[in-house]
């Protein structure tokens, strides 16, 4: 390339010299002195030769640059070949991944593949949290999470939507993409609704989880509002484990709050009972004790009056008996003498007890 450029510049210089010569020749014809014109021509030719030599020198200095450009062109060509080969390899890898996805997600073994994935995730949780083949009514769900309150959170795999996802990715226009997405969301919602049959208000947490592929979940988030009304939540495979941990922690915190509330309610009830008992002691029981004390005092006074009355009656009876005994000895002695019988001896009267002994 450098030689070609040098040749082109020499030709241009030659043409220029020819043009100058032709011009000067015309001036020679018109001029009166041909010698002066020849000197001018010789000077111009000599100057052109000098310029040609300088240009040749510059072109020889550009020769390494041309070699560098040639090497650079070769390197670019090699890099282009490598990029083409890499693109070919990446395309082959993408095709292989697509075939693998169709095997795992779009064939009859998709259910088993999804269950294996969920099994691997649940195996990272404590054994007492894990539930397998749990029966809810007459239905059996493959997986579940045992919550702190004893309820079970049903978990089912819905490994669906791979073909529709491929159509969505292959859509060329926004309208086609929207239609493909609508079909994908509809298919996922229909499959996710099947999880609602495992929800039992008596034994479950009140909702179920449908696990879907991450790529499908990215396009179906808007269906959450519709499914939550049917007690179902859709979760991507990569989000399942943190979501389960979050639910477990939330239920555990709620259970602790409930226990504290029950304890506070029991304490309040005890305090109310104690206050009511204290009011009863200070109220009706206190009045009853006052009434009993008044009754005891009145009864004691009545008993004292009765004892005094009995003492008076006894003294009166004793006096009467003494009076009768005082009249009996004279008549008894006369009768005994007439009959020849010894008269009885009159006994000394026993003193009457005092009032205090009666009262005792």
Overall average pLDDT of the 316-337 stretch: 60
Q: How many CB atoms lie within 10 A of CB 82?
A: 10
Overall average pLDDT of the 214-223 stretch: 83
Overall average pLDDT of the 146-175 stretch: 80
Alpha carbon distance 40, 34 (integer Å):
10
Overall average pLDDT of the 262-285 stretch: 67
pLDDT over 60 (residue 357): no
pLDDT over 50 (residue 308): yes
* Sheet of 208-212, strand order: 130-136, 139-146, 152-157, 208-212, 232-236
Overall average pLDDT of the 276-292 stretch: 71
Confidence of residue 81 (pLDDT cuts 50, 70, 90): confident
Overall average pLDDT of the 223-241 stretch: 88
pLDDT over 80 (residue 83): yes
If you average pLDDT over every residue of the chain, what do you get?
A: 74
User: Per DSSP, what are the bridge partners of residue 130?
Assistant: 145
Overall average pLDDT of the 53-67 stretch: 71
pLDDT over 60 (residue 17): yes
User: Per DSSP, what are the bridge partners of residue 153?
Assistant: 145
Q: Closest Cα partner for 157 from 137, 143, 176, 147? A: 143
pLDDT, tens only, 115-146: 788 888 888 889 889 888 888 778 888 899 99
Alpha carbon distance 222, 17 (integer Å):
82
Overall average pLDDT of the 42-64 stretch: 72
Residues 6+ apart with CB under 8 A from 247: 145, 147, 153, 205
Q: How many CB atoms lie within 10 A of CB 213?
A: 25
- Phi, psi of 141, deg, nearest 5: -105, 140
Overall average pLDDT of the 151-172 stretch: 78
pLDDT given at position 251: 86
Alpha carbon distance 349, 328 (integer Å):
14
Burial of 9 (0-12, 13-18, 19+ CB in 10 A): middle
Report which of residues 45 and 182 the model is more confident about: 182
């Amino acid at each position: 390339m450098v030689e070609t450029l040098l040749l082109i510049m020499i030709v241009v210089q030659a043409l220029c010299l020819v043009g100058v010569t032709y011009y000067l020749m015309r001036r020679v014809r018109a001029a009166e002195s041909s010698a002066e014109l020849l000197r001018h021509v010789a000077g111009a030719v000599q100057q052109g030769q000098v310029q040609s030599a300088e240009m040749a020198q510059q072109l020889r200095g550009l020769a390494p640059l041309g070699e560098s450009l040639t090497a650079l062109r070769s390197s670019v060509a090699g890099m282009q070949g490598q990029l083409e080969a890499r693109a070919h390899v990446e395309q082959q890898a993408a095709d292989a991944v697509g075939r693998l996805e169709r095997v795992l997600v779009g064939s009859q073994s998709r259910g088993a593949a999804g269950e294996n994935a969920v099994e691997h995730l649940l195996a990272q949780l404590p054994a007492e949290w894990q539930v397998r083949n749990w029966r809810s009514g007459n239905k059996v769900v493959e997986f579940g999470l045992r919550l702190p309150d004893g309820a079970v959170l049903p978990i089912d795999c819905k490994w669906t939507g791979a073909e529709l996802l491929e159509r969505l990715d292959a859509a060329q226009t926004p309208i086609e993409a929207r239609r493909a997405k609508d079909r994908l969301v509809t298919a996922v919602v229909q499959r996710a609704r099947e999880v609602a049959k495992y929800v039992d208000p008596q034994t479950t947490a009140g909702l179920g989880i449908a696990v879907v592929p991450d790529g499908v979940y990215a396009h179906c988030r808007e269906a959450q509002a519709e499914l939550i009304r049917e007690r179902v939540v859709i979760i991507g495979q990569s989000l399942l484990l943190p979501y389960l941990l979050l639910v477990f922690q939330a239920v555990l915190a709620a259970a602790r709050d409930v226990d504290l509330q029950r304890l506070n309610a029991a304490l309040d009830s005890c305090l109310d009972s104690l206050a009511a008992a204290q009011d009863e002691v200070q109220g009706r029981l206190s009045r009853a004790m006052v009434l009993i004390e008044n009754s005891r005092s009145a009864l004691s006074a009545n008993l004292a009056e009765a004892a005094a009355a009995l003492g008076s009656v006894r003294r009166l009876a004793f006096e009467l008996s003494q009076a009768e005994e005082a009249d009996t000895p004279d008549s008894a002695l006369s009768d005994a003498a007439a009959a020849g019988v010894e008269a009885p001896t009159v006994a000394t009267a026993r003193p009457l007890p005092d009032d205090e002994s009666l009262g005792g």
